[in-house]
Every structure is written in C-alpha cells, then in structure tokens.
C-alpha cells in the first residue's frame, strides 16, 4: 500500500492554536503525520524545554490517531529519510512568511530532491498568531487564552509563578 508520511517540523515554543489547526488539516490529508521539534534551534534561549514542549504537544494531539510527536537534531532532510517521510508540512500565514518558507523549501529540495514541501494555510482567525507574539503578550499580562490550547495557558502561568 502506498501511504504518505509527512513531517511537521518546528520550534513550537510554545504550541499555538495555529499550529494545532495545521496539524488537524495535515492529519486529514496524509496517512501519518510526525510533529518534529527541533532540538538545536538557533532562535536563542527557549521559554519551554524540549521535553516540556514534547509533553504539551503529545497531550494536545492525543485525539489524532495518525499523529505522533518526536524531536530531531541536524538537517531536516536527514531526519525525513531516517523516518521514511516523503513530505514536509509547513504553514503559511501571510505573504511575509513566504520568502523564508520558499528559501527553506528550495534548500531542502536541493539537499533531497525526493522530499516535497506541502504548504497549508491555517484558519484565518490564526493568521497573526505566532509563538513569539504569544510569549510577548502573555509576559505583559495580555489574554492569549483564545490563541493557545488551555494546557499551554496552564504551563505559561506556571512559568510566570
Ligand atoms: O518553527 P520554525 O522555527 O519556523 O521551524 C524551523 C525549522 C525547524 C523547520 C527549520 O529551522 C529546520 O528545518 N531546521 C533544521 C535544520 C535544517 O534542515 N536546515 C536546512 C533547511 S533550510
């Protein structure tokens, strides 16, 4: 049987409803979706540790039987080959995402011509949501409860003490 396994890679610091929306869309079109958290991110010091992010995402995607969560290091193309994934799933929220995503997709294609990048758009109501904004707004006391899963809110509150 020809089944399609795709990877949804990212930093997920933290998981947002935009990510979850994309996971739901991806899981409905591929046979197996692997959410993969990058361990060696160049984005600076994360708010949540990799094990914390793994736990949160696992809890949030438990309702999808064809979604698994893991971590990876190094090149995405190497990880894709290792798990037998044919595609990478990425979300595009706005035109501003396009250039970065296009460069990554083309670089990944150069590194592995057999790996396809699939782009999907999240629901309109999440087009402005990013992990960076969530952390910034929460830190300043803003209400982000409509934009992240309740379990993330709990963890954000616990971090704030
Ligand atoms: O959530 P992010 O930060 O937008 O995700 C970026 C990610 C993890 C998809 C990207 O940084 C990545 O794939 N890193 C692994 C290293 C790699 O393969 N680099 C070459 C592709 S440009």
Distance CA 156, CA 134 (A): 10
Tokens encoding 106 = 């083309």
CB 33 near ligand 1, within 6 Å: no
Which residues constitute the domain of residue 38? 5-160
Q: Sign of dihedral through CA atoms 52, 56, 59, 64?
A: negative
Nearest atom (ligand 1) to Cα of 12: 1
Name the nearest CA neighbour of 56 among 97, 12, 23.
12
> What confidence category does residue 156 fall into, taking pLDDT thresholds of 50, 70 and 90?
very high
Instruction: Give all strands (DSSP E) within the chain, no chain letters.
Output: 5-10, 32-38, 67-72, 87-91, 116-120
pTM value surpassing 0.85: yes
**Per-residue confidence at 29, pLDDT binned at 50, 70, 90?**
very high
> What is the distance between the alpha carbons of residues 72 and 10, in angstroms, rounded to a whole number?
10
Ligand 1 and 122: CB distance under 6 A: no
90 alpha carbon – ligand 1 mean position (Å): 10
Convert the pLDDT of each residue in 46-95 to its tens digit.
Answer: 999 999 999 999 999 999 999 999 999 999 999 999 999 999 999 999 98
Strands of the sheet containing 5-10, edge to edge, are 67-72, 32-38, 5-10, 87-91, 116-120
How crowded is residue 6: how many other Cβ atoms within 10 Å of its Cβ? 23
* 19 counts as catalytic: yes
Q: In the 8-state DSSP scheme, what is residue 36?
A: E
Confidence of residue 43 (pLDDT cuts 50, 70, 90): confident
Judge contact between 79 and 45, C-beta under 8 A.
Answer: no
Task: Indicate the number of domains in the chain.
Answer: 1
Phi-psi region for residue 82, left (φ > 0), alpha (ψ -120 to 50) or beta?
alpha
Tell me, in angstroms, the distance from the centre of ligand 1 to residue 108's CA: 10
Residue 22 sits in a domain whose CATH number is: 3.40.50.620
Q: According to the model, what pLDDT value does residue 2 have?
A: 81
């Amino acid at each position: 049987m020809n089944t399609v396994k795709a990877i949804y890679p990212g930093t997920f610091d933290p998981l947002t409803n935009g990510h979850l929306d994309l996971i739901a869309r991806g899981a409905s079109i591929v046979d197996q979706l692997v959410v993969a958290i990058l361990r060696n991110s160049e984005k600076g010091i994360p708010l949540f540790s990799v094990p914390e992010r793994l736990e949160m995402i696992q809890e949030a995607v438990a309702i999808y039987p064809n979604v698994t969560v893991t971590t990876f290091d190094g090149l995405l193309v190497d990880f894709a080959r290792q798990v037998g994934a044919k595609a990478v799933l990425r979300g595009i929220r706005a035109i501003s995402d396009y250039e970065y995503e296009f460069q990554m997709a083309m670089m990944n294609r150069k590194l592995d011509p057999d790996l396809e990048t699939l782009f999907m758009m999240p629901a309109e109501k999440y087009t402005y949501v990013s992990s960076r904004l969530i952390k910034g707004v929460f830190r300043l006391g803003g209400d982000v409860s409509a934009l992240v899963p309740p379990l993330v809110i709990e963890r954000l509150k616990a971090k704030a003490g």
